[in-house]
Amino acid sequence: MSKERLTVVVTRRLPDPVETRLSELFDVRLRDDDTQMSKAELIAAMKEADVLVPTITDMIDAGMLGQAGENLRLIANYGAGVDNIDVGTARQRGILVSNTPGVLTDDTADMTMALILAVTRRIPEGLAMMQRGEWDGWAPTALLGGRVAGRRLGILGMGRIGQAVARRAQAFGMQIHYHNRRRLRVETEQALEATYWASLDQMIARMDVISVNCPSTPNTFHLLNARRLKLLKPDAVLVNTSRGEVIDENALTRMLRAGDIAGAGLDVYENGTDVNPRLRELTNVVLLPHMGSATVEGRLEMGEKVILNIKTFDDGHRPPDQVVPSML
């Protein structure tokens, strides 16, 4: 007798090959449209599913987990971050949580470098001028940006993505500096030609470019608060492809408007899609709609990890990317 297939509920549309493979392996409930589930819909999905496949936009708190059905035993998050899920409560209720780490490292690091170049070389301003049909020819002083080679890059968070950013920045001739919870091994520092700063304040005050690449945790909330932002040099640039909550967005907006910071490149925001309207008005800011991981290859690899986690769980083993509270 064949084993009964797991009921897997997917909360958002995923790439077609991922949905096809999920349908081949499991009893899958797919989303007809690509809109975010409401809280009530998420709770209904958790009552029905053996396995829930949410995305980083699906907030699953303790109260919702308390209403989950008895059959829900795995939340296989389609995303590397799990700050959208109360992992501790899930664990208490016997629900495993997995994620998709590692596959988006290069994509996010590429976008970090793209934002550094876009801000320092004023690329969006040039693009806007061309699209408005206002360009009337080359001029010696038009749209002067800055050279990235030789600039000091301070990386906040030197995990997989931070190190990938460092390798790319090396190729552009930037000087690599970093602050991290733990210092890297000597051989890693030497390979990256990276200088470690135990004091975040001291590093920030001396950098030309700051790249935020740390996760969202209670300890990193507003890590770059108003006091720390004021330590930045007036000609410094701040780039964030990690989590919006790491930066006090209102304080950053005020400083950018006042010219206390030269520019910023942001792919994530403190309040999700509710971006400070005063931030949108600035020409020295490049704003992207959370595109850091948006590659076809990355999305397919995320799907492959989700499938592997569910299949391993279905076979009676621990998912390879299981998340436990001590990891957060």
Distances (CA, A) of 127 to 47, 132, 139, 264, 290: 49, 9, 16, 17, 20
Q: What is the pLDDT of residue 326?
A: 58
Q: What is the pLDDT of residue 1?
A: 33
Cβ atoms within 10 A of the Cβ of 216, count? 19
Q: Got the DSSP string for 278-327?
A: HHHT-TTEEE-SS-TT--HHHHHHHHHHHHHHHHHHHTTS--TTEE-GGG
Q: What is the pLDDT of residue 300?
A: 97
Task: Say how far apart CA 232 and CA 208 lie, in whole Å.
Answer: 8
Enumerate domains of the chain plus CATH numbers: 7-103+295-327 (3.40.50.720), 105-287 (3.40.50.720)
Residue 167 has pLDDT above 50, yes or no: yes
Range of lowest pLDDT (41-45, 188-192, 321-325): 321-325
Q: What is the pLDDT of residue 206?
A: 97
Cβ atoms within 10 A of the Cβ of 207, count? 25
Task: Say how far apart CA 102 and CA 110 lie, in whole Å.
Answer: 14
Q: What is the pLDDT of residue 4?
A: 86
Tokens of 70: 């008895």
Task: Say how far apart CA 256 and CA 259 lie, in whole Å.
Answer: 5
Q: What are phi and psi of 97, to 5 degrees?
A: -130, 130
Distances (CA, A) of 324 to 69, 80, 88, 153: 21, 13, 8, 33
Tell me how long the chain is: 328
Residue 15 has pLDDT above 80, yes or no: yes
Residue 2 has pLDDT above 70, yes or no: no
Confidence of residue 19 (pLDDT cuts 50, 70, 90): very high
Round the average pLDDT of the chain to a whole number and report it: 94
Q: The dihedral of CA 223, 227, 232, 235: what is its sign?
A: positive
Tokens of 226: 């108003």
Q: What is the pLDDT of residue 191?
A: 97
User: Of all residues in the chain, what percent carry a pLDDT higher than 90?
Assistant: 91
Are the C-beta atoms of residues 91 and 324 closer than 8 Å to each other?
A: yes
Residue 286 has pLDDT above 60, yes or no: yes
Q: What is the pLDDT of residues 74-130, one digit of tens each?
A: 999 999 888 899 999 999 999 999 999 999 999 999 999 999 999 999 999 999 999
Please give the average per-residue pLDDT across 175-202, as a whole number: 97
Please give the average per-residue pLDDT across 153-166, as a whole number: 97
Q: What is the pTM of this model?
A: 0.90
Tokens of 182: 């733990």
Q: What is the pLDDT of residue 29?
A: 95
Task: Say how far apart CA 300 and CA 35 lie, in whole Å.
Answer: 20
